[in-house]
Structure 1
């Protein structure tokens, strides 16, 4: 009885002493105080050396993942943060360090071995470990520092233990790996794509990053282009500066075009089609410009070739009409000259020759009109709607004469439009020619109108030209494709380029071309409306 009371008293004193020596209210502080240290190599807490007590309290108060590896047996003590590395491992407090980390025993021994031998601290940066965590081997990536704890012994100063601090970078490293992988994938896409891509500084307009396609397009190396001003390489691409300055102010530009010469390829006119998007910082400031471009020079050349082919095809289609128009006055001249040769009356000869001269002037007028029709102006000219329509109708007079087609004109537009007249004649010629084709062989009405009006989609004011026919009309599936290149309903007699080219010309003049058609019996026909701003020509 007395012995039991004495044991309880001594146990209480030991618990009280443990509480006084081990500070803090953390889970591991309580676990260390409760642990049966008497059965370990460290012995009871009241018998611990001052160095061990100080080290334990320092470890428990640390804001880092920390542990102590103490004594020759390498006994493990640790703080609350260390627990997440242990997971569901069996009780590890007070166990030999290498037994706790048996799955990485050799790696762990290598990390702590050197400080025990040399007494010098070491550090291992972002070391990958394959540890047993909650029953599974998982990778943890940690930075560890090992600091020897020295103490005085009868044999002199000795290393009593190691204080180990750990920073777990696993989550950050995995995020960084994914970012690196994503960046590598994006770089591969960025560099292997057919689009020339770049990141441009929004203030200096210098290339911050370019892909190989852009460097190839500029005929420079990536290293040379990076850091160079866009305008040093493309000073003669006039629209480029305004486009980039607009994006630097926060406006995205999609599907814009530019043309000009590059500094290292003078004399070579080139075309580009680009998208520009502002890149913003966290506070919303535009810091960069993401650019994606494709060169359309070859496409433009191909389009120019198609346009030229269509012009030649149009000339071919009109050749018969023009030949007929010229043939009539020439036949009259032949007959008049024969009569002049066979008569002896000077007055009659003079009359025959005067008439022949008039017929020759008529032939000359027809040829001059035809040349004027297809000659491309280098500068825009002011034209009235009536003048444009009359120049087109003059080419078709012979064809219309015996076609049973009634032409009805109403010219109300008084103001002139600034246009490249050869191109606009080509558009109207194509529409009038198509309308006449639609009316043959049965005939009908061809309506030509001009009036002043407004394009409500843009607010521009200008002249509206109308070409309408009372033919059979077009079905909906044809209407959907009339402006597509190479689409024709005329078989071998058509190129399928006329209306496509007409739309291209109208786009260059900032105009619009629209079509309506009906196949309803009694009200069938097709109407084309062409809008031209008063100052249509911008080139």
Structure 2
């Protein structure tokens, strides 16, 4: 399939804009770049990006950027409100595209202008796309207009939606960086204040008791000699429980050797600053902490122990992980764009060859296999485009039975299972039909079957069951493979987390959960690595009343 030069140019704009937004930290540059890119992609006469920010007092207010028109053209007009026309975008309910907005029944129903203010540039063609964070928070919206009618088509809508998705990630990253820098700066200022306060011996007792940080002292054997209120709040132990006890009670067993090194440094008069490690609470929870430890001397100057300031930095660590996760997703998007572009034409060629082979085949079984292969290659092409981030599932939701989809998937994977020594058991006991996007559900089922095959390298049993429930349909995929450890099980639905040592992207179950929950359903997993009962069971419940309607 050959792309037109205009579409190639627009796709290049999308990719370049995505790369630019990922590498830009300045919020104003992010929103201006997104506004300009959207204008170039949809062919509007002018566009604007209205976005929300929070000032230092925690108040929300709205700013905007323009493209294709001078700022003077809008300086005299008030900010748009959540009227009938604008509410859909500002509330994040979806994209709004109109061939002639003046014909929309919601147009012109709000005082004082009842339409466009006097002097406003004429607008007939209208396109508005909400910009959201990954949490679902609406950050603002991209708005484009043209004096002619019927200017914006679906391609323009999808391309601008892609820019909006990139902008949402970039704005969220910028916010996270700003919050992290503020936290770090605040921590530095607090540490300076603590250092100054430590020199005021007359105020030491009051500072220790009122501090938000854990402050304790210990002797040179590691026995705790003082314990402040913050230590009780953070670590859970009372002063009575800890004074006289060993500091090792707070340290995970695998880190006990660290305490020996710390005490040796203290004996030599060394100070330890901002040492990041892990400590245990009374409830057994592990928390990330930053330690500052100083020698304590008696009146003669002899070192008799150490004072320790412990700060809980778990929140900061989580923020750092969030930033890394966002940047991983952005990097994966760039890689997906390159891969999808390179493999799309070969995939089309394979589809054509399979079609021609099917025309020449005479054996019904061969024809069935070729038809299935053509369907699966088409689905691969769909997944590749979907991974780009600027392609959305366009196929209408259909009413079908989950049993039919499972039977189709089992037929496709049965030869692979046979060659791997895996026995496939089908237990179909369902007559209900549900409304689903077929491509998404086939991707979910295929991912689960592929995971089970990988988990049984020496063969085994794969059981696929579909049954009716009072409110929907239940799909169960069960294998007696190697299983997943209890430590890893809570993370299996995280993006980029995988239990495979050499292959695996870590997005299969992540995508599966997105698709299942997108249909209003639920997915859960239980697994065991016990030699007597190893294996994994994944259950999916889909409701009869889907959020989609069959078309």
TM over 0.5: no
Higher relative contact order (CA 8 A, sep 6+): 2
Give TM-score, length-normalised by structure 2. 0.40
Give TM-score, length-normalised by structure 1. 0.41
